[in-house]
Structure 1
């Protein structure tokens, strides 16, 4: 054993199926092919064996980039795009006040998910690995 935590049999990477992450991935199943691809990517990242460098890069790319060029930032930007009638034509069928309210909340989501302070815990996790 290399640390204070017990290793799994043969030092295998444990399956996520019986964890909160596994439950969340199951709940997201079959909503849209794009979400299924995201789920598959998360499952792959969770089950793959990583070294320290790759782990640090993944943490930064998921939620630790100071300029929001990470998956969390991309999700925020996607929400803003989906709630904007200029980039999502289906919203144009709604009354104008409803369009504007959806767009405002999408912008707020993007703003929140691209906030540099949101990345501090992931950046601190990365620093702890150095």
Structure 2
């Protein structure tokens, strides 16, 4: 079995503090995966690394499969148009690496249920 990397893909922002929860999420995911393969972050704009750079790094590290997980709440234009174009560009650069793309995390019912629980836990009395 080969090395399976994962990349959490976010939008990016000018304020460096914006990526702190993404860094925590990546650390939690890496701990949960153990030795299954590397976990990285990538951003569409305003922050580094870019998705192509992150994929280049994992491919160079020996990953033969990389799953990109869009950490977006919904499937807007970035997830519908920009991300598939980036994946196609990266696939052309790495034809021997299997690139997979998950759906936007915010469209998963388990994620929505977790947000509901969070909201209910934060209702003031």
Scaled by the length of structure 1, what TM-score is found?
A: 0.28
Task: Flag the structure with higher strand content.
Answer: 2
| Structure whose residues are more often helix by fraction | 1
- Which structure would you say has the larger Rg? 1
Q: TM-score under structure 2 normalisation?
A: 0.29
